[in-house]
Amino acid sequence: MERVLRPVIAYDEERGGDLVNSLATYLRCNRSWQKASEELFVHKQTLVYRIRRAEQLMGRKLNDTATLAETWFALQALELLRDR
């Protein structure tokens, strides 16, 4: 989780951002821009920007299956840690 999400978490903490939540919502909505943007109450382009920024921070692209899987598992681990 640290290896994958630390830059995104740090960005959110430093700037009061919502990248982690946006990333989790986007993946939970099966990478549907429309569904995720509606759930987050943001414009689709805002969500596109957030996901691209998260990819930049992680140094990974979500169109790669291995990256997608690692990111999903990292988000699940983060959720478990935050629930503690």
- Tens of pLDDT, residue by residue over 3-38, are 999 999 999 999 999 999 999 999 999 999 999 999
pLDDT surpasses 90 at 54: yes
Rounded to the nearest 10 degrees, the angle between the axes of helix 2-15 and helix 65-83 is 60
> If you average pLDDT over residues 57-67, what whole number do you get?
95
pLDDT surpasses 90 at 83: no
pLDDT surpasses 90 at 46: yes
Identify the pLDDT of residue 29: 98
pLDDT surpasses 90 at 70: yes
Q: Is the dihedral of CA 8, 32, 69, 65 positive or negative?
A: negative
Identify whether the C-beta of residue 20 lies closer than 8 Å to the C-beta of residue 9.
yes
Q: Token pair for residue 62? A: 């979500």
In this prediction the pTM is: 0.93
